[in-house]
């Protein structure tokens, strides 16, 4: 059997590497139109940072795992074609700012239709609006005689930073297909691939629309939990409750559960906002404005949390950060990834720059080029791949410097904002940090990683999300 995956990104690369590892008799080729990305997959420096990924790729690359730009050849030869291209938020036209942009998906589907000479199972790996399979089916079957295409929905649930662990041991694999004999046969074929390492009870089979919608629903529910706890964090600060204690208390209720209840500066990542906006748009298109508004609120609270954080920083520092150096520790949207898509750090940095702060940014996995690009890019442009974009990043910003050492970022700073929960930020020598900073020295912990009381003993003024406020912060003007 031959598998081809279109899209060598955060999902296509790791997912196919694990399939290749677990199914040595299957040949897996990952193809992409972005030559630099494919070159990186074929080199010692993979294009994405993901713990454990190097090891998996090294074990099977060149044996039964290949990366190629020869998209048409490998699609033509494959029995199963996964499509794992990006499905960003539309930036223009009908549904701009909400609907999923299926340009990349549609062009992949047209190409599959054009080059296929044998029957194929086409698998939606990308996250797509519910009912996309119907449209894809039309593209695939239009004008093609004698070739059978069976469409399956097989959404991916991995989280970045833990992708390999998630793929090795998934909570579930979801496969949706047509309720016809051919559809069921296609489901069985894909199920047999996963059955190499996933037990039968964890492979869920549904109809196409349930599988497509379940992916959007799962992300909406997960993001909703974070917005719920973040909304509580604002109330905690106003009342003297401690959000960690509240999270722990409610998380012990087995109906609520302890996971995904960490208050933060806001959720980021390529999926949550995009997929909820997509869900909102689908609800609106289906005449369900109340349902749309319900989910929209999850995004609004997330935006509120980021704004609230910036306001807290500015108001604590005498209502202005103009000309003050602020160290930004962490730029990735979570630890153990170099991914910055929709990271809350972008909005926080832009907010502080709007108040004329001077930022010194350090993240162990994010390059200066990436940070510069992120801070100069318009909302939603990030997921339209760089190679398809007309403009290159601008480096006009004298207010921003990017450094490769936390202590250098912090030196002479008035304040520190911790925006990613990298483990190394817990282990900094905060006595040394304090001595190198302007006084009063502030720490704004957007991830609740530092021991605030220890830092207060050293002399810092500390703000931790959703925790009782220092008297200094209480005396400053209330934040919106």
Greatest alpha-carbon span in the chain: 76
* Whole-angstrom distance, CA of residue 383 vs CA of residue 148: 32
Figure out which of the listed residues 159, 241, 299, 377 binds ligand UDX, where binding follows CB under 6 A. Answer: 159
| Strand boundaries in 368-441, DSSP class E | 400-402, 415-418
* Whole-angstrom distance, CA of residue 265 vs CA of residue 226: 10
Applying CB under 6 A, the site for ligand NAD has a residue count of 27
Per annotation, catalytic residue among 4, 23, 236, 271? 271
122 binds ligand NAD (CB under 6 A): no
* Whole-angstrom distance, CA of residue 396 vs CA of residue 404: 20
Other CB atoms closer than 10 Å to residue 389's CB: what's the count?
Answer: 13
Closest CA to 464 of 433, 442, 480: 442
* Contact set for ligand NAD, span 263-282 (CB under 6 A): 270-271
- Closest approach, Cβ 187 to ligand NAD, in A, equals 20
Figure out which of the listed residues 64, 89, 116, 126 binds ligand NAD, where binding follows CB under 6 A. Answer: 126
* Contact set for ligand UDX, span 333-372 (CB under 6 A): 333-334
Site string for ligand NAD, 451-470 (x = CB under 6 A): --------------------
CB 176 within 8 A of CB 204: no
How far is Cα of residue 153 from the mean position of the Cα atoms in its chain? 20
| Strand boundaries in 98-183, DSSP class E | 120-124, 149-153, 173-177
Site string for ligand NAD, 131-170 (x = CB under 6 A): -------------------------x-x-x----------
- Closest approach, Cβ 390 to ligand NAD, in A, equals 16
CB 331 within 8 A of CB 363: yes
* Whole-angstrom distance, CA of residue 438 vs CA of residue 98: 43
* Contact set for ligand UDX, span 252-271 (CB under 6 A): 260-262, 264, 267-269, 271
Residue 84 contact among ligand NAD, ligand UDX, none, beta carbon within 5 to 8 Å by kind = ligand NAD
* Whole-angstrom distance, CA of residue 28 vs CA of residue 204: 23
In terms of Cβ atoms closer than 10 Å to its own Cβ (0-12, 13-18, 19+), residue 440 is middle
Instruction: Return the range that interacts with ligand NAD (CB under 6 A); candidates 9-17, 237-245, 345-353, 448-456.
Output: 9-17
Is 417 designated active site?
no
Our CB check for ligand NAD shows the closer of 107 and 184 to be: 107
Residue 135 contact among ligand UDX, ligand NAD, none, beta carbon within 5 to 8 Å by kind = none
Kindly compute the dihedral angle of the four CA atoms of residues 438, 443, 446, 448, in this order, to the nearest 10 degrees.
Answer: 150
- Closest approach, Cβ 262 to ligand UDX, in A, equals 3
CB 269 within 8 A of CB 339: yes
* Whole-angstrom distance, CA of residue 178 vs CA of residue 285: 24
87 binds ligand NAD (CB under 6 A): yes
108 binds ligand NAD (CB under 6 A): yes
Closest CA to 192 of 23, 320, 310: 23
Instruction: Return the range that interacts with ligand NAD (CB under 6 A); candidates 10-18, 59-67, 319-327, 370-378.
Output: 10-18
Our CB check for ligand UDX shows the closer of 101 and 156 to be: 156
Q: Which residue is nearest to ligand UDX (CB)?
A: 269
- Closest approach, Cβ 260 to ligand UDX, in A, equals 4
- Angle CA 75–78–82, to nearest 5: 70
Our CB check for ligand UDX shows the closer of 460 and 463 to be: 463
Other CB atoms closer than 10 Å to residue 193's CB: what's the count?
Answer: 21
7 binds ligand NAD (CB under 6 A): yes
Residue pointed to by tokens 């090891």: 55
Our CB check for ligand NAD shows the closer of 153 and 316 to be: 153
Instruction: Return the range that interacts with ligand UDX (CB under 6 A); candidates 19-27, 219-227, 348-356, 448-456.
Output: 219-227
* Whole-angstrom distance, CA of residue 331 vs CA of residue 291: 33
Binding site for ligand NAD (CB under 6 A): 6-12, 32-34, 37, 71, 84-87, 104, 107-108, 126-127, 156, 158, 160, 270-271, 385
Which residues are part of the catalytic machinery? Answer: 271
Binding site for ligand UDX (CB under 6 A): 156-160, 219, 222, 226, 260-262, 264, 267-269, 271-272, 333-334
């Amino acid at each position: 059997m031959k598998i081809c995956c279109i899209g060598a990104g955060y999902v296509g690369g790791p997912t196919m590497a694990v399939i290749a590892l677990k199914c040595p008799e299957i040949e897996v080729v990952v193809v992409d139109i972005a030559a630099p990305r494919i070159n990186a997959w074929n080199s010692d420096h993979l294009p994405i940072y993901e713990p454990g990924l190097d090891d998996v790729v090294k074990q099977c690359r060149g044996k039964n795992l290949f990366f190629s730009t020869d998209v048409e050849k490998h699609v033509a030869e494959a029995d199963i074609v996964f499509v794992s291209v990006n499905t960003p938020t539309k930036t223009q036209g009908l549904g701009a700012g909400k609907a999923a942009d299926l340009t990349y998906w549609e062009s992949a589907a047209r190409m599959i239709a054009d080059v296929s000479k044998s029957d194929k199972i086409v698998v939606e790996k990308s996250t797509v609006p519910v009912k996309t399979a119907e449209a894809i089916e039309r593209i695939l079957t239009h004008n093609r005689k004698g070739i059978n295409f069976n469409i399956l929905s097989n959404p991916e649930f991995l989280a970045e930073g833990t992708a390999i662990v998630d793929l090795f041991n998934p909570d579930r694999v979801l496969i949706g297909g047509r309720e016809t004999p051919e559809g069921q046969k296609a489901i069985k074929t894909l199920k047999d691939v996963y059955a190499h390492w996933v037990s039968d009870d964890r492979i869920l089979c549904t109809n196409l629309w349930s599988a497509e919608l379940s992916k959007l629903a799962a992300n909406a529910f997960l993001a909703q939990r974070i917005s719920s706890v973040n909304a509580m964090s604002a109330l905690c600060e106003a009342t003297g409750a401690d959000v960690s204690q509240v999270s722990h208390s409610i998380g012990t209720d087995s109906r609520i559960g302890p996971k995904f209840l960490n208050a933060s500066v806001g959720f980021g990542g390529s999926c949550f906002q995009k997929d909820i906006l997509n869900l909102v748009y689908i609800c609106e298109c289906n005449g369900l404005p109340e349902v749309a508004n319900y989910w929209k609120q999850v995004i609004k609270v997330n935006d509120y949390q980021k704004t609230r954080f910036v306001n807290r920083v500015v108001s604590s520092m005498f209502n202005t950060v103009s000309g003050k150096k602020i160290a930004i520790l962490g730029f990735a949207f979570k630890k153990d990834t170099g991914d910055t898509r929709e990271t809350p750090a972008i909005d926080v940095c832009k907010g502080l720059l709007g108040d004329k702060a001077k930022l010194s940014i350090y993240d162990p996995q994010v390059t200066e080029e990436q940070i510069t690009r992120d801070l100069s890019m318009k909302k939603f442009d990030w997921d339209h791949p760089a190679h398809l974009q007309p403009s290159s990043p601008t480096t006009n910003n004298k207010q921003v410097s990017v450094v490769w050492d936390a202590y250098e970022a912090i030196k002479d700073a008035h304040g520190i904002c911790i925006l990613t929960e990298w483990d190394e930020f817990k282990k900094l020598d905060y006595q040394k940090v304090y001595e190198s900073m302007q006084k009063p020295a502030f720490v704004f912990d957007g991830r609740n990683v530092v021991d605030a009381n220890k830092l207060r003993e050293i002399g810092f003024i500390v703000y931790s999300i959703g925790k009782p406020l220092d008297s200094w912060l209480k005396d400053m003007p209330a934040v919106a």
